[in-house]
Amino acid sequence: MASLAPASPATVRSIPTARPRAVANWLFAVSALVFVMVVVGGITRLTESGLSIVRWDVVTGTLPPLSDAAWQAEFKAYKASSQYKLMNHGMSLAAFKGIFFWEYLHRLLGRLIGLAFALPLAWFWLKGRIPAGYKPRLLALLALGGLQGAIGWWMVSSGLVGRTEVAHTRLAVHLTTALAIMAGCIWTALDLRATSRPAFGMGTRSRLLIPAFVALLSVQIIWGAFTAGLRAGHASDTWPLMAGALVPAGLSASLAGWVDDPFTVHFLHRSLAVLVLGGALIFTRHLWAIGASGPAQALAAAVTAQFVLGVLTVLSGVALPLGVAHQACAALLVAATTWGAHHALRRP
């Protein structure tokens, strides 16, 4: 995070026409759209809707089918997919429209986010509203957003032949990239607003906590994506015991099994949740110690809610509302972690 150290007030104000607060508000709005995208992505996955659109039409795919003939053409294309043949054979057109809606909405939001980032960026740039030193970072976020679109299709294409779902490893890349974009927007917006706020700052030893917790949270998010992609949430509907034990028999001992075996992936995800909860509460204590009460409260609330929702999701047999809420809260936890880390790493 050193490369994202907040700019000094003098640097931010070095361009007379710069409007750091306006740019920050725009980035917060983009991060909110990414959050919505993550939630809709969770619904898309849990409703098995992600493979309903088998083409990647960046421009022409903006409009949904508008006639019976267009719907029949889309349905015919889906019928050629492995998911239809192996899992949904005999599905009605009405049922197809139901899964098509969520994938279409997910892709439409992706296009909207692209425009919501690119067009205001161009306007701020031409009007000289971007403070000095921020253009490279904003271009990097724009490029990452474009890459995310390609990653999305790379993910979908993995499930079109010989599978009934996308590759869970590619799903993990897609989800973590979305959350990285959201965190990058939030961090940059906080930088732009930091010039009028008091500086905090942890000691050297305390600073080691932040990258350690971010790494732990990242691993947990990746295994959460594995759990969703493998439908591993159905491997157990009990907690804290799994198959009658805290450490159940039948866990894979191989590295490949840690990634590909649903039973083992489920166990790792629920075990990592305990570590994330403990790490977040330690981080929260440090935030309270430096006077950052806002981020501390947000982090404590987000991690507690996320843990409880995870348990309830397991006990419910992955009920759709709880599964979606669990993914939404994961994004909120990333946002709270970003906010806390930004406050903690600011130079006093």
- DSSP letters for 117-142: HHHHHHHHHHTT-SPTT-HHHHHHHH
pLDDT for the residue numbered 197: 53
Helices marked H in the chain: 9-12, 20-46, 68-79, 82-86, 93-126, 135-157, 168-193, 204-207, 209-229, 255-260, 262-289, 293-315, 320-345
pLDDT for the residue numbered 204: 61
How many whole angstroms separate alpha carbon 216 and alpha carbon 275? 8
pLDDT for the residue numbered 1: 38
Reading the chain (348 residues) residue by residue, the pLDDT tens digits are 334 444 444 444 467 788 999 999 999 999 999 999 999 999 999 999 999 999 988 887 889 999 999 999 999 999 999 999 999 999 999 999 999 999 999 999 999 999 999 999 999 999 999 999 999 999 999 999 999 999 999 999 999 888 889 999 999 999 999 999 999 999 999 999 885 455 555 566 567 889 999 999 999 999 999 999 999 999 999 999 999 999 999 999 999 999 999 999 999 999 999 999 999 999 999 999 888 899 999 999 999 999 999 999 999 999 999 999 999 999 999 999 999 999 888 755
Domain boundaries, the chain: 1-197, 198-348
CB-based burial label for 1 (10 Å; 0-12, 13-18, 19+): middle
pLDDT for the residue numbered 10: 43
How many whole angstroms separate alpha carbon 60 and alpha carbon 190? 37
* Total count of residues recorded for the chain: 348
pLDDT for the residue numbered 251: 97
pLDDT for the residue numbered 61: 84
Q: Is 281:287 a contact under the CB 8 Å cutoff?
A: no
Q: Is 333:224 a contact under the CB 8 Å cutoff?
A: no
Q: What are phi and psi of 25, to 5 degrees?
A: -60, -40
User: Residue 345: CB partners within 8 Å, gap ≥ 6?
Assistant: 1, 5, 201, 202, 207, 210
